Amino acid sequence: MGGCFSSANHKTIPPNPSPASPLAIPNPVDPNPHNGGGGGTMALPYAHVDDDDDIRALAGRAEGFGRHSIGGLHGSVYCVTTLSDDGHGSLREACRKKEPLWIVFDVSGTIQLLTYLRVSSYKTIDGRGQRIRLTGKGLQLKECEHVIVCNLEFEGGRGHDVDGIQIKPKSRHIWIDRCSLRDYDDGLIDITRESTDITVSRCHFAMHDKTMLIGADSSNITDRCIRVTIHHCFFDGTRQRHPRLRFGRVHLYNNYTRNWGIYAVCASVEAQVLSQCNIYEAGQKKSVFRYMPEKAADREEVMAGWIRSEGDLFLNGAQPCLLESAGVESVFKAHEHYPTWTMEPASLALKEVLQISTGWQPVPRPQLTPPNM
């Protein structure tokens, strides 16, 4: 039995963690979201990383399913010295090298990519200390592992199947952190074809339609392995897919999604979505969650996925439109996969913070250090 019920009936369900809870909330704001927060210092993620003088402190520090990503931890530092698409000192030259590398930039500006820039395994692309904008095409993470992408801008990707960051096939241990993405012809971040153990954090998405697809289509039953965490991101007026999920498991927490054009989050065939302490602020379209039934290639029945909403805050008439069924109880428990994550109660204070702290930031580059061997 299901139905679309109003935000008055499902405004917030405070998480109220017990001492044994997996949530890491060392300095919570006012736990009553109706008060708009403000009861204390926010427990935002990665403060220990951002304040570290060692540039390699990022490695292995993601929260969620991508927490094991080490990027180029054990490699030397590669300094990008040109904004050219290719050649000596270019980002493309660094990304194609087979050895681990921690890639930093000695220049700021726009890199016009003529073709997809393929990133090989054990790379960190670290934009801290500069302002780098990728345009024309995007990054392609194809059959790779242990990649970190941090503090970059992606804008104006053109062409069929051109995504800002395309993660497929069979890529794993990926962390996308503090990037700004807007205006690509296909997706901003697409995660498909058995790619898994991925975290997307502190990113700003804008000026786009099909924002984030996770799971290729109903024939790709091997996408059942997909596991993605999306947290502390700002979906700023993007039309749909925040994300749209097939088959896999997605943990959403402390994201702010506003003024969507169709829906906020969609569960297609066999999807499991755990939405915790997110802020959904409607514009003209009020339906937050959507279910799209499809038939898996190895099943007879047509079915959608399941969404469990816990502690989410619905603003400006946003309607959860959650389906109530036995399947909701089968949605995964995050603490069965990782022991801690940094999560605030959804509040107006959190909403304000996410608007200014997501996407590319003018942060200094930490000290360059030799590789940890």
The stretch 55-83 carries a mean pLDDT of 98
Whether omega for the bond prior to residue 364 falls within 30 degrees of 0, making it cis, is: no
Write down the catalytic residue from 241, 244, 246, 249: 241
Amino acid letter for position 137: K
- Which tens digits make up the pLDDT trace of 84-131? 999 999 999 999 999 999 999 999 999 999 999 999 999 999 999 999
| pTM, entire model | 0.90
**What pLDDT digit, counting tens, does each position of 143-198 carry?**
999 999 999 999 999 999 999 999 999 999 999 999 999 999 999 999 999 999 99
Q: What are phi and psi of 193, to 5 degrees?
A: 55, 60
112, 172: one domain: yes
Same domain membership, residue 296 and residue 156: no
Give dist(CA 34, CA 345) in Å, integer.
10
Q: Output the average pLDDT for the chain.
A: 90
Quote the CA–CA distance of 231 and 274 in Å, as a whole number: 12
CB-CB contact of 101 with 123 (8 Å) = yes
Tell me: the pLDDT tens digits for 266-298? 999 999 999 999 999 999 999 999 999 999 999
Structural domain that includes position 51: 47-203+358-373
DSSP-assigned states of every residue in 45-82: TTHHHHT-SBGGGGTT---GGGTT--TTTTSEEEEE--
Listed in sequence order, the residues at least 6 apart from 51 whose beta carbon sits closer than 8 Å to its beta carbon are: none
130 and 261 inside one domain? no
Give me the CATH number covering residue 36: 2.160.20.10
pLDDT of res. 17: 33
For residue 41, the model assigns a pLDDT of: 67
- Residue 328 region by backbone torsions, left for phi larger than 0, else alpha for psi between -120 and 50, else beta: alpha
195 & 253 share domain: no
Number of domains making up the chain: 2
% the chain with pLDDT above 70: 88
Rounded Cα gap, residues 220 and 324, in angstroms = 27
Is the same domain home to 197 and 53? Answer: yes
How deeply is 333 buried, as exposed, middle or buried, from its count of CB atoms within 10 A (0-12, 13-18, 19+)? Answer: exposed
Three-state SS at 111:
strand
On whether both 95 and 185 belong to a single domain, the answer is: yes
Give yes or no for a contact between 39 and 369, defined as CB atoms under 8 angstroms apart: no
Determine contact, residues 247/224, Cβ cutoff 8 Å.
Answer: yes
Rounded CA separation 97/108 (Å): 22
Together in a domain, 162 and 299: no
For residue 241, indicate whether it is catalytic.
Answer: yes
264 and 224, same structural domain? yes
pLDDT tens-digit readout, 195-235? 999 999 999 999 999 999 999 999 999 999 999 999 999 99
Structure tokens at 227: 């596991």
Same domain, 322 and 290: yes
Whether residue 362 is preceded by a cis peptide bond, meaning omega within 30 degrees of 0, is no
